[in-house]
Chains A and B, each alone.
Chain A
Amino acid sequence: MELIMAIMTGILFAVAVYLILARNILRIILGTSLLTHGVHLLLMNMAGLKKGAAPILGEETVSYTDPLPQALILTSIVINFGVTAFFLVLAFRANQTLGTDDVEKLRGGGHNE
């Protein structure tokens, strides 16, 4: 299972890098979103996939799983959700004001304007 997850993480990273290198800003946003998904999967995988009960004291359970990675991933998902939403709105506004969604055209002529 770890192996499949590792390969999956690699695929997500690769797709994300490909998308981030695109010129269209929507693809870039999708790329960053996929990248953070890859990172979360990596975090889950690095902490080890274990079988066990939730870490709540009970009479029948013998082994518990480590709850920390889930907590970290949850925090990171929330942050990523907010940032992606902001990025989408920013891209929308930029498209309205600047009239383009092509990052090559966002270069700006140096600082003299």
Chain B
Amino acid sequence: MNNFIVLPLLLPLLTAILLILLHNQVALQRWISGMSALLNIAIAILLVSQIQRDGIQTLYMGGWLPPYGIVFVADMFAALLILTASVVGAASLLFSFGSISEDREVMYFYPLVHFLLAGVYGSFLTGDLFNLFVCFEVMLISSYALIVIGGSKRQLRESIKYLLVNILSSALFVTAVAYLYGALGTLNMAHLSQRVAEMGQGDMLNVIAILLMIVFSLKAGLFLFFWLPGSYAAPPAAIRALFAALLTKVGVYALVRTFSLIFYHDPAVTHTWLGWMAGATMVLGSIGAIAYRNVLSILNYQVVIGIGFIGLGLAIATQEAWDGVVFYLMHDMLAKVLLFILGGMLITFARTENLIRMRGLIVRYPLIGWLFLGTTLALVGIPPLSGFPGKVMLIRSAFHEHSFLLGAIGLLSSFFVLYSLINVFKQAFWGPELEEQGVHATIPPPSKLLNGTIVVVFALLIFIGVNAEWVYGFVSQAGQVIAEPALYIQAVMKEQ
């Protein structure tokens, strides 16, 4: 029992409630939400160090021992994701201070962001499948409101589709929960894992597993990403950065938990599906990334490629692959939030989304230009940056397991990332400046706070890349728990 682990969930929840009451005082809202986001990073660091020292932490809500009641479990994987997510949350909040219009700020923008963060942390922490559904919904309902806040035509049009897709996948989620409860009589993930191991993962459980796979793949954008490019193009840049970095990753987290802890007995069925889906996601994402001349579309397809690449690790499912998944997830969240912040600034300064009409921005905005190049290199996986260790582990694990096709697609997808983003860099930042006098005078330059934020996030990318050995210590602890479900089960069910 450890009450501390509920704190990452509790803090944004209380902050959000407080901010609702203060919704007219914008300056105060900014202070409180900024402080709360920074405090959450500190809490997450404490949580990580505690787990490193004492192993997996659990909390039984209301003192009900598992399998009864709801259990919160913080293993290293969850804690590392919470830490990364809290950095991402803080970065997008700091970005939103300068970029979100005041009418949106008054209309509960900050409370919604904190509710979304609470849902994300809750999803990472919970050890109960139905509670995972509830946390998903907390996150999704906040995201419904965030995607439509402001009410432009494009937002209204896209949010209807986003809402419909997510309502359908949530309905399927509850259907899968119902089948699981009928088949196994429990919803506690550790207990589910035990029961599946006792019963053997037959055809009936495979059907449920694939139903869950469809649900989580819809949320993660693994193969079923048709809704993603349109929806993520609709909201303002700060919200887009938050969505791109966090929402799909929660789906990936759920996939990792489900297919490493519960349904890992029949990889010939489930993991083959995952492998095909991951490969198809990378191929289709790559095609999308090079097909468009719109910066938003290019960036959105980077999210798709990233998800496909993590899917590769899911399909391989060896200890090395899980290490790679954890490492790459952390890198991907940080790199994506930076990429989308820079992309948002790029669109603001160029006053267009169309790549053809951008040129020579590096003269006025050298910092943004060079950081964009740096983030591109990190996403591709150039050695001193954070993308490299994760990519090496994932590709190597694919070749060790003789999945040469998947490994090759993974390698090739990196080239497409490189090509599409370097193309953006070349077109938007190089060349002579466009002759539009007086245009730039109307746009204020980025604030010191914002410049500081993007530099810090980029420094983190370098830090993770350079200190990969040290980070790997944490990552391998996370990977070990994912690879050996017995450790997780033992930690949850020990007090019986």
- Residues of A bordering B, CB below 8 Å: 20, 25, 28, 32, 35-36, 39-40, 42-43, 46-48, 68-69, 72, 75-76, 79, 82-83, 86-87, 90-91, 93-94, 97-98, 103, 106, 108, 110-113
Contact = CB atoms under 8 A, between A and B. Distances in A.
State the majority secondary structure of interface residues on A.
Answer: helix
A74 to B, nearest CB: 12
Contact of B171 (A32, A46, A93, A110): A32
Nearest to A76: B174
Contacts of A90: 144, 148, 156, 159-160, 163
B134 A75 contact: yes
Given A39-B174, A47-B182, A111-B292, A87 B156 contact: no
A42 B321 CA distance: 37
8 contacts: A32-B167, A35-B168, A86-B141, A87-B167, A90-B144, A108-B158, A112-B354, A113-B154
Contacts of A103: 160
B168 A111 contact: no
Interface of B: 130, 133-134, 137, 141, 144-145, 148, 151, 153-154, 156-161, 163-164, 167-168, 170-171, 174-175, 177-179, 181-182, 187, 229-230, 233, 292, 294, 296-297, 353-354
B229 to A, nearest CB: 8
A86 B229 CA distance: 23
Contacts of B181: 43, 46-47, 68-69, 72
B171 A112 contact: no
A107 to B, nearest CB: 8
B175 A79 contact: no
Contacts of B130: 72, 75
Contacts of B353: 111-112
B386 to A, nearest CB: 29
Contacts of A82: 141
B162 to A, nearest CB: 10
A97 B156 contact: yes
B174 A36 contact: yes
Q: Indicate the member of B151, B160, B187 with the most A CB atoms within 10 Å.
A: B160
A98 B141 CA distance: 23
Contacts of A32: 164, 167-168, 171
Given A46-B182, A47-B178, A112-B354, 11 more contacts: A36-B167, A43-B177, A43-B178, A47-B181, A72-B177, A75-B130, A86-B141, A91-B160, A98-B157, A106-B161, A112-B353
Contacts of A46: 178-179, 181-182
